[in-house]
Structure 1
């Protein structure tokens, strides 16, 4: 675990000892944020792409190793790229 500052240690201790209480309106806030996440993650567009058989087999192998369907892996790769968390290797 990362090192915690004093305030973070106090919060963790209060949580673990059961001294924390939900804020007023927390349920409404939680529901609103769940709706935001649901709307943001909704997969409502379909694309078709052509890949070489070699790349497709490689994609399927990677997905199998990760334990996810290859479509999920492709969507994850695209999402990471769009969010700027996946960069082209310049070798």
Structure 2
């Protein structure tokens, strides 16, 4: 059901992004280390850039989570206006 207020009531999966960023951070650090040890500077640089991007994303996600319900509404906030009836009947 669409109510027309989706941008106002939209939710963001910040906790999912947090865990995916942590997972990506671990893999990027691992890749940078391994490719550096294997003397593959191109791949090490690519993993290093990915590491920096992941750190920036992780920082933004943590910042938005700390801002509270403004960015991440609680479970008691419905994702849309409840259907009051009348339309579509």
- TM-score grouping bracket, smaller chain normalisation: under 0.3
Query: Could you tell me the TM-score, scaled by structure 1's length?
Result: 0.26
Query: Could you tell me the TM-score, scaled by structure 2's length?
Result: 0.27
Q: Which has the higher helix share?
A: 2
